[in-house]
Amino acid sequence: MAVGSETIELTKIAAAALAEKLGSEIVAIDLSEQLVLNQVFLIATGNNEPQLQALADEVEKKLAAIGQKPARKEGSNSWILLDYTDLVVHIQSSELRNYYMLDRLWNDCPTIELELEQVNR
């Protein structure tokens, strides 16, 4: 089953929020053919703990403005996860992103074009 248009729209809004707060290496992975529970992983890197929190806050703010609340939110000082059911946002420090390599773990899945100017800094 392909990713739904509503999920793609949520993904683009969340990605724009991440870019607005200077998140880097923003990538959206289409998991619709691989997982039953989620359709998209949106992954971004932050430079430090305050930026990770600012990135998460901005995503929550932008999605709340269109009536979306995370079903679950988990976090530490180096990884914040926002679960919007079909969309899961992973905001990681560069150290944890390099360690867990979610991009490579799911590299057989297609990515979703985000059309962001500030994707890779």
Question: What are the sequence ranges of the domains in the chain?
Answer: 5-105
Thinking of the domain 5-105, which architecture would CATH place it in?
2-Layer Sandwich (3.30)
Paired tokens of 119 = 């994707």
DSSP H or E segment with residue 64? helix 49-64
pLDDT tens digits for the chain (121 residues)? 678 899 999 999 999 999 999 999 999 999 988 866 679 999 999 999 999 999 999 999 999 999 999 999 999 999 999 999 999 999 999 999 999 999 899 999 999 999 886 444 4
Give the pTM: 0.91
CB 49 within 8 A of CB 95: no
Long-range CB pairs of 105-113 (<8 Å, 24+ gap) are 106/29, 106/31, 106/34, 106/41, 109/29, 109/30, 109/31, 109/33, 109/34, 110/29, 110/30, 111/27, 111/28, 111/29, 111/30, 112/3, 112/8, 112/11, 112/28, 112/29, 112/30, 112/40
